[in-house]
Amino acid sequence: MYTCTSCGEKHEDMPALCFATPAPYDQLSEEERIAYQAECDSDFCIIRYPNQTDRFIRAVLLIPIIGHEETLEYGVWVSVSEKSFNNYQSHFHDNPENVVYFGMICNWLPPYESDTFGLHCNVVTQSDNRRPLLQLHQGSEHPLVRDFYHGIEYAEAQARIEAAFGADY
């Protein structure tokens, strides 16, 4: 059981490991955020560089826990095309289920030593105002892709949560 830092409620299930913003936004100074007209809320982020505009949406990556119905949940940001971003945003409050967009993860996920930034995925919408789910593309030898398809041990999930929240989560 843990007390959620967002809502203050106690929860029985595992807490999600979430990123408040995509890494490219984190790396901008306050001056750059103003200069690039960077906007970021809890679900959408846009950075307007001089030669391109990057668009990000927040999504959920579920890692199965071997032998358990529970999953380890990461709240991550993915970059998507302008067309996908606009389509997703325009249907945000009435999103049809199973619309698929191509995306790339835009956070570095612990504990993976190899870079998770830029891993290719499908972004699959859910209904009822739930954030989209990610499906990592197969064919990569990346440990995150392996864990996504084969799962992790419960002790490993606990270790990741303790590393993020402390032993008393």
pLDDT one digit per residue (tens) for the chain, 169 residues: 455 555 666 667 788 999 999 999 999 999 999 999 999 999 999 999 999 999 999 999 999 999 999 999 999 999 999 999 999 999 988 878 899 999 999 999 989 878 899 999 999 999 888 999 999 999 889 999 999 999 999 999 999 998 888 765 5
Phi, psi dihedrals of residue 18, rounded to the nearest 5°: -120, 150
The closest alpha carbon to 74, from 5, 156, 19, belongs to: 19
d(CA 57, CA 132): 9
Contacts (Cβ under 8 Å, ≥6 apart) of 81: 55, 101, 102
For the chain, what are the domain ranges?
14-165
Both tokens of residue 99?
């619309």
Let me know: does 112 contact 56? Beta carbons within 8 Å: no
Both tokens of residue 10?
């106690």
